[in-house]
Structures are given as structure tokens and as C-alpha cells.
């Protein structure tokens, strides 16, 4: 069984229990107060937002969330559900084209005990994976090498989200 190994995130997870969310990262990213270049948003639809993860497992790690601040799947409207799935599908298509990964981890963590770092706002992770993307760095040095700065990944991906198919 292959595992998604990300020990560098342990500090983030440990701090999450003590951290109080002053502003939800998803709600903050679409607020008028957030500069577009700081938001990590690659696409904003009528009902959803797609953005880079600030603490990525791998290069190109995206998150898709409803615009509404919802914590429960049952609270999603039909329109939100459809748009989320469409954007997850589009994200995979774009990440394949741009980064040529060997596979993907796609999922949602519901509740803190399930690993949700942002408990109050539903979001799906789309994580590109490459054969051998876990190497000696995280194992020996507790460090993950992300080969590209988030701002470069953002500018690379944004044009591909201008037209959603």
C-alpha cells in the first residue's frame, strides 16, 4: 500500500488545535480585503472557489470549496455540488496538462479528527502525485522539496482556469 507521507505538515497539524481561525482562508480569499495576488485563487465560479494550498503536499496542490461557509455536506445545494465536481474534474485535466503527474489524491476531510485543518468550511483537495515523489528528504531531514514557488504555480495555472469546460 502506497502512503501519502508528509511529515513536514506535523507542525501545522499540531498547531491547528491551538490556532483560532480569525478569518476562514476560503472566505478571506474571496473578500474584497484580499489582494488577488495574495489570495492563491486560480478560479472563482458562481458557487465555488479553486485555490492553491498554502501548505501543499506537492506542487500544484489545489483545493476546491463552495463560496458559502458550510461545514456539512448535506448543506450543499445541487448547484454547488455540481460545480465542485466539475472544478475537481477540470483541475485534474489542467494539472495533467501542466505538470504531467502519474496520479492524484482527491479527497475531503470532514471534522478535525478526520484531519480537517479548516473545520468550518468544506473543501476538497486535489493533489498531483508522481512516482517516487516521496524521497529521502522528508524521511531524513523532515523537509519536503516543493520545486516551484507558489506565486509561479499560481501564474502558471490561472490562465488554464479562465475557460472552464
pLDDT in tens, 71-105: 999 999 999 999 999 999 999 999 999 999 999 99
- How would residue 152 be classed by pLDDT, with cut points 50, 70 and 90? confident
* Annotated catalytic residue, options 47, 61, 123, 125: 123
**Cell digits of residue 147:** 520545486
> What is the pLDDT at residue 138?
45
Whether residue 134 is contained in a domain is answered as: yes
CB 42 within 8 A of CB 153: no
Q: Is residue 165 part of a domain?
A: no
42-to-6, 45, 51, 73, 152 alpha-carbon distances in Å: 24, 10, 5, 23, 12
> Does residue 62 fall inside a structural domain?
yes
The label of the residue with cell 476531510 reads 109
Range of the domain at 97: 7-160
More confident residue, 6 or 56: 56
Calpha distance 34→32 (Å, rounded):
6
In a domain, 2, yes or no: no
Q: How long, in residues, is the chain?
A: 165
Query: For the segment 107-119, what is each residue's pLDDT rounded down to a tens digit?
Result: 999 888 888 888 8
- Per-residue pLDDT band at 54 (split at 50, 70, 90): confident
Which span out of 21-25, 105-109, 150-154 was modeled with the highest average pLDDT? 105-109
pLDDT surpasses 60 at 20: no
Taking only the tens place, the pLDDT of each residue in 3-19 is: 555 555 556 555 555 55
Q: Is residue 90 part of a domain?
A: yes
CB 61 within 8 A of CB 53: yes
In the chain, how long is the greatest CA-to-CA distance? 46
- Quote the CA–CA distance of 40 and 63 in Å, as a whole number: 10
Residue 48 sits at φ, ψ, to 5 deg, of -140, 170
- Per the CB < 8 A criterion, the answer to whether 74 and 132 are in contact is no
| 136 sits in which H/E element | helix 136-141
- Number of folded domains that form the chain: 1
For residue 32, give the CATH number of its domain: 3.30.428.10
Pairing of strands 124-129, 62-66: antiparallel
Torsion over CA of 98, 154, 121 and 103, rounded to 10 degrees? Answer: 20
Active-site residue flag, 121: no
Rounded to two decimals, the pTM is 0.78
Amino acid at each position: 500500500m502506497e502512503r501519502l507521507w508528509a511529515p513536514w505538515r506535523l507542525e501545522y497539524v499540531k498547531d491547528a488545535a491551538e490556532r483560532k481561525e480569525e478569518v476562514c482562508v476560503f472566505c478571506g480569499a474571496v473578500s474584497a480585503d484580499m489582494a488577488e495576488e495574495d489570495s492563491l485563487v486560480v478560479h472563482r465560479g458562481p458557487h465555488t472557489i479553486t485555490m492553491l494550498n498554502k501548505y501543499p503536499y506537492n506542487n500544484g496542490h489545489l483545493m476546491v470549496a463552495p463560496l458559502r461557509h458550510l461545514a456539512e455536506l448535506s448543506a450543499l445545494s445541487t448547484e454547488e455540488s455540481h460545480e465542485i465536481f466539475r472544478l475537481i474534474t477540470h483541475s485534474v485535466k489542467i494539472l495533467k496538462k501542466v505538470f504531467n503527474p502519474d496520479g492524484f489524491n482527491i479527497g475531503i476531510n470532514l471534522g478535525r479528527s478526520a484531519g480537517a485543518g479548516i473545520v468550518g468550511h468544506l473543501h476538497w483537495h486535489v493533489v498531483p502525485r508522481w512516482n517516487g515523489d516521496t524521497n529521502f528528504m522528508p524521511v531524513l531531514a523532515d523537509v519536503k522539496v516543493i520545486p516551484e514557488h507558489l506565486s509561479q504555480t499560481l501564474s502558471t495555472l490561472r490562465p488554464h482556469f479562465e475557460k472552464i469546460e
